[in-house]
Structure 1
Amino acid sequence: MKTKNLNYTILFILFFLNIFAQKTAINNANEKYEKYEYVDAIKVYESVANKGYKDEKMFQRLGNSYYFNGELIKALKWYDELFLMNEQQEPEYYYRYSQCLKSVGNYSKADIILEKFSKKITNDQRGILFETNKDYLEEIKSNSGRFEIADAGINSKYSDYGSAVFNDKLVFTSARDTGGIAKKNFKWTNKSFTNLYTAELKADGSIGNPERFQKKVNTKFNESTPVFTKDGKTMYFTRNNFLDGKRGRDLKKITLLKLYKARFIDGEWKNIQELPFNSNQYSVAHPALSVDEKMLYFASDMPGTLGQSDLFKVSINDNGTFGKPENLGATINTEGRETFPFISNDNELYFATDGRPGLGGLDVFVSKIDNDGTFEAIQNVGEPINSKQDDFGYTINSKNRNGFFSSNRENGQGFDDIYRFTETRKLTCEQELTGTITDSETNEILSNTKVALFDENFQPVAEVVSDEKGNYIFSNLKCGKNYFVRTSKTDYENKETPVTIKRLDGKTTLPIQLEKRVKPIMVGTDLAKTLDIPIVYFDLDKTTIKKESAFELEKIAQILKQYPNIKLDIRSHTDSRQTVKYNQILSDKRAKATMNWFIENGVDSIRLTAKGYGESQLINQCSDGVKCSEEEHKLNRRSEFVITNL
């Protein structure tokens, strides 16, 4: 009996020691994880996990450690374990899990997980983009097949990425071992710190042997992603927080990324300075220059960032100083990672993100920048640039359509590799908007119906007339844009219909049914009431017609053009606030401004009269001294369009 008890005691002690050893190992791994030493953390976590130990927090961190290093296939194994143990996870784990499922081509399950993600956090832009574009794979397919790609010929077994062209040389980032005695590793990846390298771009299309970039630029920490001004005199690049031998750290003692500027003087890069909007507390990285070189774009997680990293821009002043960084906003940025911007000479913004529906990991997207700085429809550039893994660092020569991009896709030489490409067909996304116009009651085809197209700011785009079969067509419309279609026909009510053009090449169909005009038009009819026009189309105390109101006034203009004998009296009224004299003058100016708008839009002035009535014809009790709400006052600020002759 004593021997049996002793055996039980020994087993208990061994079990306790094993549990203690596992917890000690996990605590050690947790410390490394918190310091972003993911590779070292993985070794310890996996050692414990492979012995059969299961822990929800450990599976989370194991998956994250691989995920943050771009090793999505390896991350998938541990996210699988995590969701088998407990499917009720924080929303971000659903998103990461879906990305990892895409990395092995399991898009059907990835979409199921994304559905759950979007239901858990309904205001997340990533979920919204998925819910509004569930046919994203078809869109990507339609954009694919436009590139011929090949290994760039400069890759090593280490990480190579982030290229730029300078003086007929390719300047790129590499973690290759240069044979130094004191080799240093970046704890995040456990790979060598990166430096900048150059390789000659030869006339026959081949690339020469890589050589280290200038010594003064490269340090013992990471350098990456350079961009050069057209005159070759200025370079912006990314480096860990290190300058003049001094290393900076954030509050967690982590050395983050900063942007630096160097000048090319007497054949050397000198005067290296950090940019003034850097900080020890957040990262700023991956610079790109606008076409006119007056704007610098970059990625950062600085305050004001919408997601894990966003794209920003900052103006470069003529004296070399910088403005205040501006977030590119929710049109571009999501709660995910937006990074590696590049501006082509065609004024297109290329960038990498994992926040939009894609093939997996980071995908390359593109958006045309309009003259006013706004962005057109954002499109996935498709395969073979994009893959199931991380694809980023896209640059292109707008003249010859040649360029480079980086990827950690399978069958590469190293962790990241640089690929060269030729774009064989430019990415254009245009739609044809078409439809048939019919009577809403009888379904009778309505030919010879005027159909006008307006953009989202109510500016006219085009005008057509439906054919004998009631069909209309607007061609060459931009994908993803919002428009308004206005139809008008004698004896029918005018109708405005909003439409959003699909985000892939093809056709958008918008059938329109018109209602017979049942409200009689006669002398004394107020067209504002007949056509349901909002009564207020001036801002308070203003006499300038608002853009959205001009769209409404166009309805009346169409009636006047359909019935050339109509004469109209424009009557403007104010509320009782301000003095009687002020309101009389204001209303008179508004009536005259409205009449001038009709004249400028093709209505003969002899058909129009205009008069202001100030506050003399209030339609409720809101006279001087009576307390009224804003809505009650607004009822008195009205315009009337009264027919005086038919």
Structure 2
Amino acid sequence: SKLLPGGTLSAPEPFAAELNTRFHKGPLCFSNDSRQMFFTANESRRKGEAKLAIYTSQNESGLWGKMKMVNLGSADANNAHPALSADGQLLVFASDREGGYGGMDLYATRFRDGRWGVPVNLGPEINTPGNEVFPFLHANGTLYFSSDGRGGSGNLDVFAALISGEYNWTAATNIGAPLNSPKDDFGFILDASGTAGYFSSARDGGMGKDDIYRFSLAYPGELAEAVPVQASVRVVEEATGKPLPGAEVTLLRASDDGVFCGVVDGHMLSFSPTETPGEFEAKVSRADPFRVPVPEGLRSVTGPEGTLQLPVVTGGKYLLLAQKEGFRPLSRPLEAEVPADWNIALTRTNCLTLQGRVHSRPGATAIPNATVTLVNMCTGEIVQVTSDASGNYEFPCLESDCDFLVQGTKANFKMENVLVSTMDRKIGQPGPPVLQDLELIATLPAQLPSDEKGGQEVLSFDEKGFDEKAPLAEGTASNSIGGIMGNGVLIELKNIYYDFDEFRLKDKASTRELARLADFLTRRPEIHVEIRSHTDSRGNAAYNRDLSAKRAGGVAAYLASNGISRDRMVALGIGEDDPVNQCTDGVECSEEEHQLNRRTEIKIFNKK
């Protein structure tokens, strides 16, 4: 029958007479180009009961070719009611084969390598101990079917579910009245626009037992509202990616005028878009029960894994609001799709940004792609980033009142460790970020980017290793605090200066550096320290060793005078035995190069 102008139908006439036989032909479906057809027919058997099977035929020059049975396995079962996806790759059908959940179950198979695969049962989200029959696959991924095993208005009601994986579907939802009635409703189909369709029903008022009905929808998404989807929301901390339990999430749906609104806890929330993208004007008022009804907003709290689920409508537009104490609140417009997986990252309000540049020493040439590791000495948390093409790195969130170890590594460079503290920084007030550059000294001849003069800087240094007993491979960083702190961390005190052949501190800057170290050790009683003093190669080796021992002892004495127990300190005079460059005996070097070797280092150990 054809739809005529005015909405009437022409008289029915046989379809595909070339395929008609004395056997029953049942529900059918077509490929998107209408050149292939799948249909149900009684299988021809000489003996025994004729089973239902699914056949296919190709349209050639306006005529349908010879019907061929689709091999779906389970020869002793009934296979019926085919439904084909828009891309022609997925076939859903009804079958009473063994291993199902009830009488007739829905199964799916995919077309791969020129053949249909082994059918897969659609599972308890779709199937019941009753019968699931008459499937229809819409181009938007919605599966419609009839079931008598889920309750509802009548024996067979029409249900809908959304595809969420290769063979996975959301839980079936009854599409409700008026499409469903107290009698059987089945054979549902919907046009490509999602606004009109047909179905069969035994409802009262028809012309016979089962009649065909046509319906129209007010708008394309009207039926989708009857098929809620569970949106999975995951809230994490932006800086670390760790889940945030106890975060409050509110979800408001957009009205026709684009305003996100809903009633939550007796209050009407309204968020109107502003001229600035991503910003909204918020209004909160007490809900008025006598005004036009407003949908309920959704509010929930994340669990131990930072997750929760909220029911949404496919294609619906929403505004998600997330907040947690100690974090900046966030609002994000979202559109519900299948699957609806929403990841939300919140930024701490008690955060300081750490910025710096990784560069060579000497020369200050940028070192890109260096691994920079941040160790939170309060919590043990470890975060790693990589320096960019200019050698810059950033950690967006350092908590206040804490000490941190910053570690820079790259292949063929000596590891650099630096202590950073936020003890004296106030949170919540505008201010500059914490700044800390990392200076890496090459351990092997290394090709570095050209300097401003167009030359190329080649540095060489013989590194003995991060830990002399168990050297850490250059360019690597441990991912555990035990691996980083277990055997001690070597840190150079950059602002400790001595004049040549002197063991007394050169200036007040040196004293300030030791004062910061004393404060750190006071805050961290679990930390023990090994003080290592080095000289340059000028002078007698024995004399230099004695000089360096005096310098190390002087540092220990200063720390002891500031309340640090001698039991937590060891002072070592290394002398000229461990230079950071080529300036050994007999090698001519500049004063700047000798200065690199005159240094004081500490090796800190966690004795917890």
TM-score range, shorter chain: 0.3 to 0.5
Task: Compare relative contact order (CA 8 Å, sep 6+) and give the higher one, 1 or 2.
Answer: 1
Larger proportion of helix = 1
